[in-house]
Amino acid sequence: MHLFFISLDAASYPDADRLFSLPALCALKEKGTFCKNVQTIYPTITYPIHTSLLTGCYPDRHGIHHNQPFQPDTEPQMRKWYWEIGDIRCKTLHEAAREAGANVASILWPVTGKNQYTRRNFPEILPLPGESAVKKMLTYASPLWLLKTELLHGKKRKSIRQPDLDDYALVLMKDLISSKKVPDLITLHLVDLDAMRHWHGTNSPEAHAAMQRLNDRLQAIIDAVKKRGIWEDTVFCIVSDHGHRDAPHGILLDQHLKHMHAGRAQTLGMGAYIFSDDLARTRQVLEENKAAWRIAHIYDESELRALHAPACVRLAVDAEDNCCFIDREEETFGEHGFSLHYPESKVFLLLSGAPIKRGHTLESARVVDIAPTLSHLMHWSLPDPDGTVLSDVFC
């Protein structure tokens, strides 16, 4: 059996009706089990959520609390990200599959660089200013497969910006499906919609066009699977991580705190982690400036532990609606990193394939339930996840 685990970044509950009325997604939904009420994790940003999707654990266990390590005195464009799978503290689906003898491949999945569990890997890696994109990818990806695909398909990649990068991800996906040995597990992260919402706004024409492109890419994958003759032996797991909200007002929270010698802020978008050697004073400063700095809520440590935030995070804030926290003056459009009370913190799950109930709906689920469910489906060992198996999805 083949498992294609595909993430549609930046899609959420409010998008479900539009997305799943599109032909490819609608067809997969009709032959599978669907849930549009899947609770994502705190914080609602890409790398922690995708690590939870891959492990079934919350950030306080898997260790990826942000897209980036905390680097307050490094210029934003020079900050490193959590690129390596070695940063993850829990067992991943990639590792579980490889232990079981499965052939594993991955395309643009976050926090999977230098991944010894994948034979063919094209991870999400961003070259920093002054770095060679080719050299960096050769360091973090599967070099032999990368060189082979570059020779075969490199001219098809127009750029590393969206939507061009997702178009190239589709080229790589089709290459895997047509290969002599189709991987048993492919994880694929599609980022087009997230980019359009950040650049143009949550419900912009550009975002709606990205949804159509997502559907078209999925249709191309379905067509490739059918052409390869493995349609009846393939399970699709289509997931999302977070939605977006328009947040046109940017607040320089870290600069404010630094100026007052009251700690530092690591922005999440519509929220921020606060780091300080004197939490009591920092909290007082935040309370006193709550209105001026457009702060909607200040999380105390007990709230953060209940949200499974990592132990290093002892204070955090949410921005008011329509606002976000920024590190430099810039124009803002769509954002995430918001509180779990927003409808955009509910995402979706679609499982489609022969072992899955057809035309079935789940009332609710959690992001951390997805990896245990997939490991159960494939008979892989994923010990002690925070999530549970969604047994009602199986025939």
Where residue 287 sits, what CATH number does that domain have? 3.30.1360
Residue 330 has pLDDT above 90, yes or no: no
Domain residue limits at 127 = 2-246+342-393
Beta bridge partners, 246, equal 334
pLDDT average, residue stretch 35-39: 97
Residue 133 has pLDDT above 90, yes or no: no
Using CA atoms of 356, 360, 365, 369 in order, give the dihedral in degrees to the nearest 10.
0
Rounded to whole angstroms, how far apart are CA atoms 106 and 111? 11
Rounded to whole angstroms, how far apart are CA atoms 285 and 262? 7
- The string over 103-116, giving b where at least 16 C-beta atoms fall within 10 Å of a residue's C-beta and e elsewhere, is bbbbbbbbbbbebe
Collapsing DSSP states into helix, strand and coil, what is residue 155?
Answer: helix
**35 located within any domain:** yes
Collapsing DSSP states into helix, strand and coil, what is residue 20?
Answer: coil
Tokens 């969604």, residue? 390
Using CA atoms of 174, 176, 178, 183 in order, give the dihedral in degrees to the nearest 10.
-130
Average pLDDT, the chain: 96
Residues 175, 33 share a domain: yes
Q: What are phi and psi of 167, to 5 degrees?
A: -60, -40
Please tell me whether the peptide bond between 129 and the residue prior to it is cis, using omega within 30 degrees of 0: no
DSSP state of 392: G
Question: In percent, how much of the chain has pLDDT > 90?
Answer: 96
SS3 track for 246-277: ECCEEECHHHHHHHCCCCEEEECCCEEEEECC
* Contact status, residue 265 vs residue 253, Cβ threshold 8 Å: yes
pLDDT confidence of residue 21: 96
Question: In percent, how much of the chain has pLDDT > 70?
Answer: 100
Question: Domain holding 163: CATH number?
Answer: 3.40.720.10
**140 located within any domain:** yes
- At residue 302 the predicted structure's pLDDT band, cuts being 50, 70 and 90, is very high
Residues 256, 231 share a domain: no
pLDDT confidence of residue 332: 82
* Contact status, residue 5 vs residue 367, Cβ threshold 8 Å: no
pLDDT confidence of residue 342: 97
**40 located within any domain:** yes
Residues 312, 171 share a domain: no
In angstroms, the Cα distances linking 188 to 4, 7, 310, 337, 363 are 8, 6, 26, 22, 26
Return the number of other C-beta atoms located less than 10 Å from residue 209's C-beta.
15
**156 located within any domain:** yes
Using CA atoms of 80, 84, 87, 91 in order, give the dihedral in degrees to the nearest 10.
150
pLDDT in tens, 154-164: 899 999 899 99
Rounded to whole angstroms, how far apart are CA atoms 214 and 22? 10
pLDDT average, residue stretch 239-262: 97
Residues 70, 24 share a domain: yes
Q: How far apart are the first and last CA of the chain?
A: 15
Residues 308, 160 share a domain: no
pLDDT average, residue stretch 148-177: 94
**Tokens read off for 81:** 């990200």
pLDDT average, residue stretch 23-41: 97
Residue 358 has pLDDT above 90, yes or no: yes
Residues 192, 61 share a domain: yes
Rounded to whole angstroms, how far apart are CA atoms 81 and 195? 17
**189 located within any domain:** yes
pLDDT confidence of residue 329: 86
Which of these ranges, 146-150, 185-189, 215-219, 337-341, has the smallest mean pLDDT? 146-150
pLDDT confidence of residue 395: 94
Q: Give the gyration radius of the chain's Cα atoms.
A: 21
